[in-house]
Structure 1
């Protein structure tokens, strides 16, 4: 392998345009071999996902369809139970001992690192890429170091992404409002088809 494999974990409930922008820019800026979207089963520090795991996976697969840079990884769902990133990274290192991994974290998630399960193990072993999105409070290297990140194994990535949140998508879906610009068209179609997030009526990406 000539470049890193980027690990992008989350509930993706649902995957939205901000996620896709971060993935695209991280892959390009890091000159990655691949980026793996790792879908959480039951997150440790966040509220449980509202959509079933199968629906979240289907939406992600639809969002990345036709783009060979991206892989949807279901290992945490197959493993079941509470999702621990430390377990996931142990699996990756065992399966791909020669790969160079980069664990992608948003600034808000990075700030919660001291509360993570087996945080010391992760901080001692992994290489991290902390994403600062335009319009959000950035995390700087000195703050990351105070949180326990290693200076030599931590990169900061500045990205431009639309100001979209999954909670915003869910609220609009519940109200039957357009999801234009918030999620890929293929994801909006699945939300509408399955009535996800209490949509109850057609959700579309039309701007009309």
Structure 2
């Protein structure tokens, strides 16, 4: 059975924090692959209106190139409306019946689990993997496998803000992504 970690998000832009989480979970849980799954419309937050899905996909492709264990799963970009994880996991489990899925979430989402759409059904479809974030509690009654991740405080919103204000984002995201942002004049560049 192929063991696959799924890391969902807006990836607006993808950064080294995403890659660090993916690599640590891959290694710690001895998974075969990590699938980065960009959201179309996450139900819990708004994605940036200024960046097209295709640009987010291209940045993600640039971020993961060179790592054969990292893939992109576009299932949520192919659907319209809010992306509910339970619907996505039903489809993935049907398409890939020989796979075991591990859904990676940060402590902010662990706190939010009781509010997830059809959470009781979802926990039957996928194993959640929680990664710590210092400002959030990771206590929950739901079955979660925890993976310690080295602290690296970076977020897509922080990067967008830095880019808009002309500050450096070097060492926060891959150089090829920085070049892409400049070439496409994203985030107010």
TM-score, normalised on structure 1?
A: 0.85
Local SS of the residue matching 2:78 = helix
Local SS of the residue matching 2:99 = coil
Alignment of 1:158 with 2:148, yes or no, is yes
Identify which of 167, 175, 186 aligns with 1:177.
167
Aligned to 2:16: 17
Aligned partners of 1:121, 1:170: CA distance in 2, in Å? Answer: 35
Aligned to 2:88: 88
Structure 1 residue 138: Cα displacement: 4.7
Structure 1 residue 68: Cα displacement: 0.3
Aligned to 1:53: 53
The one of the two structures with greater contact order (alpha-carbon pairs below 8 A, sep at least 6) is 2
Larger Rg: 1
Structure 1 residue 75: Cα displacement: 1.1
Structure 1 residue 137: Cα displacement: 3.8
Counting matched residue pairs gives 188
Aligned to 2:37: 38
Q: What 5-or-longer segments of structure 2 have no aligned partner?
A: none
Aligned partners of 1:169, 1:107: CA distance in 2, in Å? Answer: 20
Deviations 1:73-98 (A, max 9, x none): 11111122211111110111001112
Q: How does 1:12-161 map to 2 (within 5 A)?
A: 12-50=11-49, 51-133=51-133, 135-139=134-138, 143-145=139-141, 149-150=142-143, 154-161=144-151
Deviations 1:13-60 (A, max 9, x none): 111111111111111111111000000001100122332111111100
TM-score, normalised on structure 2?
A: 0.94
Aligned partners of 1:138, 1:33: CA distance in 2, in Å? Answer: 29
Aligned partners of 2:77, 2:122: CA distance in 1, in Å? Answer: 20
Local SS of the residue matching 2:159 = helix
Aligned partners of 1:94, 1:169: CA distance in 2, in Å? Answer: 37
Deviations 1:140-195 (A, max 9, x none): xxx211xxx13xxx201110142111111001111122211111101111111111
Alignment of 1:191 with 2:187, yes or no, is no
Local SS of the residue matching 2:124 = helix
